[in-house]
Structure 1
């Protein structure tokens, strides 16, 4: 017995701390609900301790969903057909959102959190239509990004004030951090984006923005034309003088604005060019969030995720929402990449789904997304069955394995 409580040693075939290399034949020493030591079985003799052998499994930290829209968790299938143009899909999403009541949105958020936790997710970056509320015992940490958009002065002002109120409303919930999300360049004018950056700085908060989703976005910003311009006119949202943006490189300027936030998440980044990738790489507080199965749903060209990683940019994984994805499982995003992107290092894929998302959302001091001493209780590890003796065999088991989220035996 340890002076502070019951001590248990858990052993497993593999342990993936993420913040250090995988351990073949490892142990976790747990006192009460906290991990206090991690290592290889060869590091010590624990025959006289209370030892629980987890068996032929790999132990991993809970997943991190760096970007999702929980309010669409009632979608049984994605909106539209695979390969739909982004501008057409957004119109359908606006129509779906317009008929949802505040109570329905809250129900969807609750359902999305429950689905996420059941799928092994311990940290969620949620884009929220304020006002939105979250349970205090959700079983996951949440960064709630108040969505701000509006091409008219009145709409922009109303959504920005809602974001300010959202920050205050979350203060009493220890499971939720405030974030702000100027929605996208096609829906949020430059002055409103800069106001959101200032709000993030005021609260020391993360900021998330959909950036470079498709070449059509670049056409709108540079030329004031194309499918996005047509969609805005058809919806009666076109405002003269907002497009094109001033300057010849609007996305380069946008990256500079976002870099002023304490933490900035560029969502999707499907159409980032080499000079823009280089610009992002200069700012360690910036991350890109890649949503693999949503990217696949739209039929976008091959994502430049490897270029981003090669440039030293932090890349996290998100699920977007059930409006563009069949579910909210980050583990299934990992399996999708293991199957469809053999060019990616499998350990880098795991890092994108865990540690990278945590650092993007909460900063490098966060304990989420990794297994290390000091782990907070609700971030209990997850497990994948594997009898592999070599690391390359583990990846094959990961590609087909079901995640077990029951936690460590005898622990909450």
Structure 2
């Protein structure tokens, strides 16, 4: 039986992301590329008509920050609301020395879970070496080490990772780099990471302003992080406090030297830091709503970041601080708990904004003519846009699914 290279998909709603939701919409696909996106009209159907029924079609979701290597965990580490510095100590203890093979298995398991729940692009922080980077994944080699030997070893692995996996097509590189955090990555090592990102022309991601304890450490060399690092036998006085008058503003300016920068978490950013990020158009912030909730941090400045014109994307973080890797659940969490955010903006954070942050705006995160037809569906009975949002936040649409393809 001969299959036409064209199909037309019809659904109760289409959410292009760059435009308003379209009720009773249609998408024409030719050889895997979208050629028409519009309200349904019989006269414009091409090839086989596939009526998907009572669903909304959305672009595949973009998870802009996760650690797939923790995907073996059945539940988060530690207790909800615990101090971040103590949690990190528990994470280090839990991981111990996981060998490369086991780590690879965990990554593939997490990848399968994310893809099955509608995610189509993943920014994964990896402990190198990693034998195989799964499809649809940008693997950010994690670099850290307050001891010279550890820092050198992580940096050498990261450079090998980039050599092996960076692509001459900058839009398609499967590898990137991630200096871990200001409490674990001293300035010389951070600068080395930034130079490496520039040389290889790849994105850079770093955990920044994760908690007030991080600020205490950078400003004064004191607090829970200082105590945790001392307990691990690390030379706190050698690296902290930072000499800069505003350490986080200084850090943001440094990070902005990379081709693209993902500032991860940003739970504790203040007004001057938000303005500084806004001054660097190549910087995005990645917000992980359910991880933020797990630690009981004070309200996330996501609305202030958006108001400042900053590109904000969403991530799941890892199963060490989150019950699962389902990005749709992050969307639902925000629709339920952050009524101050505009629902279309919440969806944009999980799609187009993530693609933009990662330099993949031409292949992911939008329904647009000329782009690959990798869409997903979410069940809805809505007749009006406001009903659509209440359907999305209810349990009846608890999952997003990859759309069927002919």
Q: TM-score range by the shorter chain?
A: over 0.9
1-side partners of 2:310 and 2:400: how far apart? 31
Match of 2:148 in 1: 153
Q: CA deviation at 1:34?
A: 2.0
Which of 162, 165, 173 is equivalent to 2:160?
Answer: 165
CA change 1:244–1:45 in 2 (3 A) is same
State whether structure 2 residue 325 is matched by structure 1 residue 328: yes
- Secondary structure of the 2:237 match is coil
Give the distance between the partners of 1:166 and 1:290, measured in 2 at CA.
Answer: 26
The residue that corresponds to 2:99 in the other structure is: 101
Distance 1:147 1:49, change over 3 A: closer
Deviates more, 1:12-21 or 1:270-279: 12-21
Return closer, same or farther for 1:56/1:173 CA change in 2, 3 Å cut-off: farther
For the structure 1 residues 78 and 47, does the alpha-carbon distance in structure 2 shift closer, same or farther, using more than 3 Å as the test?
closer
Work out whether residues 14 and 24 of structure 1, in 8 Å CA contact, stay in contact via their aligned partners in 2.
Answer: yes
1:13-412 equivalence runs, <5 A? 13-41=12-40, 45-46=43-44, 50-134=48-132, 138=134, 140-171=135-166, 177-363=174-360, 365-376=361-372, 380-400=374-394, 401-408=397-404, 410-411=405-406
Deviation for aligned residue 1:32: 2.6
C-alpha separation in 2, matches of 1:32 and 1:322: 37
- Total equivalences in the alignment: 400
C-alpha distance in structure 1 between counterparts of 2:364 and 2:180, whole Å:
26
Q: Deviations over 1:26-71 (max 9, x none)?
A: 11001132211111225x7236853222212110011111000010
Partner Cα separation in structure 2 for residue 406 and residue 218 of structure 1: 41
Q: 1:35 to 1:48 in 2, by over 3 A?
A: closer
Moved more, 199-208 or 32-41: 32-41
RMSD: 1.9
Q: In the alignment, is the contact (CA less than 8 A) between 1:382 and 1:403 conserved in 2?
A: no
Deviation readout 1:309-357 (Å, 9 max, x if unpaired): 0000000000010000000000000001111111110000000001101
Provide the C-alpha distance between the structure 2 equivalents of 1:48 and 1:234, rounded to a whole number of angstroms: 66
C-alpha separation between the residues in 2 aligned to 1:155 and 1:231? 18
Shift, 1:176, TM fit: 5.7
- SS of alignment partner, residue 241 of structure 1: helix
Partners of 1:91 and 1:114 in 2: how far apart? 28
Give the drift of 1:246. 0.5
User: Secondary structure, in 3 states, of the residue corresponding to 1:125?
Assistant: strand
Q: Deviations over 1:279-303 (max 9, x none)?
A: 0001111000000000000000010
> CA offset at residue 404 of structure 1?
4.5
Check conservation: 1:9, 1:52, Cα contact below 8 A. yes
Secondary structure of the equivalent of 1:198?
helix
Q: What secondary structure sits across from 2:316 in the alignment?
A: coil
Change (3 A) 1:173 1:376: farther
CA contact (8 A) 1:66 1:124 kept: yes
| Partner-residue secondary structure (3-state), 1:240 | helix
Is the CA contact 1:131–1:166 (under 8 Å) kept in the aligned structure 2? yes
Cα distance, 1:381 vs structure 2: 1.0
CA contact (8 A) 1:67 1:124 kept: yes
